[in-house]
Amino acid sequence: MKTPRGFALVLTLVLLSLLVLLILAMTALVRLESRQVSVAVPHAQARQNALLALQVALAELQRHAGPDDRVTGMAGITGIPAGAGQPARHWCGVWRTDGTFVAWLASGAEGEAIPPLNGPDSVALLSTGALGADGTDKEHVRVRKVPIEEIDPQGERRVTGHYAYWIGDEGVKLSVGDAGYPLFEPTVRPAVDEILAGFALGSPRLADVLAYEQLALVPVPALTPGALQANRHSITVSHLSLTDTPAGPQLRAGALNINTTNARVWRAVAATYNRLRPDAPLGITPTTFANRMRDGFTTAASPGKAPSGPFLTPEAFALSAHLAAGLKGSGVKLQEFADALGRLFTTRTDTFCLRAYGEATSELSPSTHPAAVAVAEVFVQRLPDLHSAHGRKLSVTRFRWLGTVDL
């Protein structure tokens, strides 16, 4: 049987066409893989830079806040006013128990003076996603970026990325849970619903809450995201403090670091007192008390208080003219206030929230548009165990990568 004329030519053309298609497919695949690599590499580098920021932050936290002879507080106590445009108001500061300043727990801070924070060399680590619109007691938080450099084969320095970090003071917030630890005062629960309307105090659902965002699910119906955003600087799931016992330092829940000018916190403190003493002839007006505690903190001069700085002991706060001015007109005496709430007060924090930032620099526009960004959020707990050189040991209790909606 004879083969039809031209069949070999047709077969050859078909095979050539298949070969061309295969080459095109391989070319497209190589291009796709190259694009994926070009995207993945900057993101991996950004995460590595964020992890570098985390390591630097943990080292600074251990060095400055690990020892027992430390006091902490929010930067607002130094005179930074409340309101939008105050990106350092919720920085955490560390002082020695003699009142001398130690450090700000934020990248780019050198000494006691807070650097400018609105330029291209700064970054927001808590902004609209975490807090809503910038405003009083929900001020956005910014820090300075630190460049990461490499030396090329020609010996020239080149910026390949940046890192930054902010360490937040969880102790200046109201704790709604106990994380399974004993309470300082089992009969006292902070009146969180004074500032977070509709929150279910004492709800059994609190036992299952790990992250701040989950507090929305404690009451039924659930709270709105805006309500949680407005209170992020004021409420925490649980702050654990080291307290001295006959058996040695132990962790307990429910304390409040008094070195804060957050009016929302002081409003809830006033409401807590009123609920503990419902038979008192006069009560504290929460808003009046809160405004006085905010506005008079910096100028208050009392034994046991650093000038434009923190109270150094709870006892100094309980006897202070500052607290007396806050209670003025309420009929509540200093001793009555101290008897009701004094055991809950502390002047240092042992639980911290840390945000670590990393970016990979774009070669096209290295100063303005990073090629990739990564942010991690970490909670750190100070423990009773002693560190070899810097006080008590720190332990990371929770880690997560954040998305842009979380910032």
pLDDT of residue 214: 93
Whether the pLDDT of residue 33 is over 80: the answer is no
Using the 8-state DSSP alphabet, how is residue 176 labeled?
-
Type of residue numbered 340? A
Domain positions in the chain: 40-171+350-406, 178-346
Bridge-based pairing of strands 240-243 and 250-253 is antiparallel
Q: What is the pLDDT of residues 7-16, one digit of tens each?
A: 777 777 777 7
**Phi, psi angle pair for 42, to nearest 5°:** -60, -40
Q: What pLDDT shows up at residue 402? A: 97
User: In one letter, which amino acid is 252?
Assistant: R
Residue 10 has a pLDDT of 75
Closest CA to 328 of 294, 267, 298, 285: 285
Whether the per-residue pLDDT at 131 is higher than 70: the answer is yes
Contact residues for 223 (Cβ-Cβ < 8 A; gap 6+): 196, 198, 199, 215, 216
Percentage of the chain with pLDDT > 90?
72
Give pLDDT, residue 341: 95
Confidence band for 382, pLDDT divided at 50, 70 and 90: very high
User: What average pLDDT does the chain have?
Assistant: 91
pLDDT the model gives residue 228: 95
pLDDT at 39 over 70: no
In sequence order, the 6+-apart residues with CB closer than 8 A to the CB of 45 are: 160, 161, 358, 360, 372
The average pLDDT across 55-72 equals 97
Query: Which amino acid belongs to residue 335?
Result: Q
Close Cβ partners of 146 (under 8 Å, ≥ 6 residues apart) = 107, 108, 162, 163, 164
Cα separation, 235 vs 215, whole angstroms: 10
User: Facing residues of 394 across strands?
Assistant: 382
pTM (two decimals): 0.89
Residue 396 in this model has a pLDDT that exceeds 80? yes
Nearest residue to 351 (alpha-carbon basis) of 137, 174, 168: 168
Q: What are phi and psi of 228, to 5 degrees?
A: -70, -40
**Residue 35 confidence class, pLDDT cut points 50, 70, 90:** low
